[in-house]
Structure 1
Amino acid sequence: MSKLMSSIDQRTQLVGENRLELLMFKLGSRHTFALNVFKVREVITVPTLNQLPGSHTNLKGVINYRGKSIPVIDLRSSIKMNPLNEVYDVANVIITEYNRSVQGFLIGQIMNIVNTSWSDIQPPPTNAGKNHYLTAITHLENDGITELVEIIDVEKVLSEIVDYDTSISEEALDDSVTQHMSGRKVLVVDDSSTARRQIRDTLTQLGLEIIEEKNGKRALNLLRQWADEGKDVTEEILMMFTDAEMPEMDGYRLTAEVRGDARMSSLFIALNTSLSGSFNEAMVEKVGCNRFISKFQPDLLVDVVQERMRELLKQQEK
């Protein structure tokens, strides 16, 4: 297992090239699931689980991981699969980092790691409804057989265990700026419906209107459509928040495409992601984002919008 995961650090160079690597695994059924390797710290065999009486039903217990106690979540039950009649034949824990927190996910057999392109990753089918736990799907070759791989919406899984507070502290608000926001529009681009909802529930408190898109390709098509119609993109929207990892086109490529189009190159763009902060700060500079913030921090979302509004007000005064 250590050999399988040993080169993850070297693989981070794929981010920003519209590529990713998927860690594929089973949950005790014929289905194959995946997580982005970039979110994975380590894969370990199941250690001793310390039970927490009264905890969420999806929480299997707490383990000691590198000197710290972290929760272990039953991924199968979290995505509403039928309970197993018996334990996994092979059980592992994926240690992940999402939204500035570390947690483990109890899974079954680890399959392999696959290098692929975001252009080959597709959103879930529209007939999947709203209650699924997928951000994307893809089809990959395995021993000459093409199989469906389902990429799990971890942010949705976590949001059902940990309550996310979308309230804004009074200290974060600048009334001299927020009074100008009512009716302004912000484009939010994220493949997770949970992440989009968190931003929407935060920013609508300021009177802002939210336009949502599920991935970078859809967002870019919308922006180009406005530009083709002769609209000033920076007049249509105050700014854009974009996730980094998304099907078809990631946030880095989206930003680079926007910066390369003179009709929209001055659009204010904030990268809002659960990925590693130090790495993203370098990527923000490379592709030309205006700000980087890690999910989910309501006051920081407000700070970014206020920064953009101040900038716009100064431009109007000239």
Structure 2
Amino acid sequence: MASMLDAVDQRTKLVGENRLELLMFRLGGMQMFAINVFKVQEVVQLPKLNLMPHRHPSVAGVTHFRGRTIPVIDLSESIGMKPIERNESCNLIVTEYNNTVQGFMVGEVDRIINMNWNEILPPPDGAGRQHYLTAITRVNDRIVEIIDVEKVLAEISPYDSTVSDDIIDNDLLTLAKGLEVLVVDDSSVGLAQCRSTLDFMGITVHTATDGKRGLERLKAWADQGETVPEKLLMMITDAEMPEMDGYRLTREVREDPRLKDLYIVLHTSLSGSFNKAMVQKVGCDDFLSKFQPDKLASLIQERIRSVVYRD
């Protein structure tokens, strides 16, 4: 399985082309699940786990991996299904989200598949594990459910959305009142964290749940005669989203003369080193890892300063 992950350099070529690669796996039954390959460091057979006291029910234990100790999450139990039965077919998917490394215990790992984001659709409304899906797709006429890992991690270790007092410039807070920002993210957790910080700063928040809807919102404003780069302080966009990802969204904005000067921040849980390299390729103005309210507030304030100074 590790050999399936050797061609990462080739995968970076997908950026800006509205394409992605999914790692497909099962959680014990026949239903197929998936996560984005960019978040995967390695796939190995499930190693021996050590128990931790007072652990979250979905945390199966910890293991030593590449010289570090990482938590191992039972992905099936964490999305409301039965715990995974540990046997020789169990695997560990080691991932990096928001600069943290963790392992997800799954059943049989199937394969990696290359897809276009317009083949990835928002999940249907419903109860149960539907709340833990960020998207769905079809592979060989079978439904594949793409898990909202950010939601899983937030429930195990809730993110702190509080902005530190020493970060805030009160003079800038006065200037921030009434400014507008568009946040584009398919994750309810990601949207909520951004909104919390922006609401605290008195900024009006517009939202869209994928790149296609975000682009439609921008074009609608432009069609109504709005000067969008002046209307919005910035657009904050996730990278991976159904139908249109953040990289393609940025490219589309830069190609529209009415939108091209919009300030765009890539806000994602994908690897920081990867995204920093891709920001220039697709034309974003800045990059920020998710769930860092102090850094988000600082970035907003720097943008306000630049606008005020320019004016």
TM exceeding 0.5: yes
State how far apart, in whole Å, the 2-side matches of 1:70 and 1:77 are.
Answer: 18
Does structure 1 retain, via aligned residues, the 8 Å contact 2:25–2:106?
yes
What residue number does 1:52 align with? 52
Task: String of CA shifts for 1:79-98, please: whole Å, max 9, x gaps.
Answer: 011345x4456100000000
Q: How does 1:259-270 map to 2 (within 5 A)?
A: 259-270=254-265
What residue number does 2:43 align with? 43
Q: Secondary structure at the match of 2:220?
A: helix
Task: String of CA shifts for 1:186-241, please: whole Å, max 9, x gaps.
Answer: 11111111111111112211111211111111000000001011112134322110
Q: Secondary structure at the match of 2:145?
A: strand
State how far apart, in whole Å, the 2-side matches of 1:121 and 1:49 are.
Answer: 34
Does structure 2 retain, via aligned residues, the 8 Å contact 1:100–1:295?
no
* Alpha-carbon shift at residue 60 of structure 1 (Å): 0.4
Does structure 2 retain, via aligned residues, the 8 Å contact 1:240–1:270?
yes
* Alpha-carbon shift at residue 171 of structure 1 (Å): 2.3
Aligned length: 311
Which amino acid in structure 2 is aligned with residue 90 of structure 1?
S
Task: String of CA shifts for 1:19-72, please: whole Å, max 9, x gaps.
Answer: 111100000112100011111000011111010011100000000001100000
State how far apart, in whole Å, the 2-side matches of 1:129 and 1:292 are.
Answer: 34
State how far apart, in whole Å, the 2-side matches of 1:238 and 1:118 are.
Answer: 27
Q: How does 1:1-318 map to 2 (within 5 A)?
A: 1-83=1-83, 86-87=85-86, 90-127=89-126, 132-141=131-140, 146-316=141-311
Task: String of CA shifts for 1:111-133, please: whole Å, max 9, x gaps.
Answer: 11111111111111245699610
Does structure 2 retain, via aligned residues, the 8 Å contact 1:42–1:95?
yes
Does structure 1 retain, via aligned residues, the 8 Å contact 2:180–2:206?
yes
State how far apart, in whole Å, the 2-side matches of 1:117 and 1:71 are.
Answer: 32
* Alpha-carbon shift at residue 155 of structure 1 (Å): 0.3
Unpaired runs of 5+ residues, structure 2, are: none
Structure-1-length-normalised TM-score: 0.93
State how far apart, in whole Å, the 1-side matches of 2:67 and 2:54 are.
Answer: 24
Which amino acid in structure 2 is aligned with residue 114 of structure 1?
I
* Alpha-carbon shift at residue 175 of structure 1 (Å): 1.9
Instruction: Note the aligned Cα RMSD (angstroms).
Output: 1.7
State how far apart, in whole Å, the 2-side matches of 1:129 and 1:27 are.
Answer: 15
State the identity as a percent.
54
Which amino acid in structure 2 is aligned with residue 208 of structure 1?
I
Does structure 2 retain, via aligned residues, the 8 Å contact 1:168–1:202?
yes
Unpaired runs of 5+ residues, structure 1, are: none
Does structure 1 retain, via aligned residues, the 8 Å contact 2:74–2:83?
no
Q: Secondary structure at the match of 2:62?
A: strand
Does structure 1 retain, via aligned residues, the 8 Å contact 2:80–2:129?
no
Distance 1:130 1:3, change over 3 A: closer
Which amino acid in structure 2 is aligned with residue 140 of structure 1?
V
Does structure 2 retain, via aligned residues, the 8 Å contact 1:41–1:95?
yes
Q: Secondary structure at the match of 2:193?
A: helix
Does structure 1 retain, via aligned residues, the 8 Å contact 2:179–2:233?
yes
Moved over 6 A (4+): none
Higher mean C-alpha deviation, range 160-169 or range 215-224:
160-169
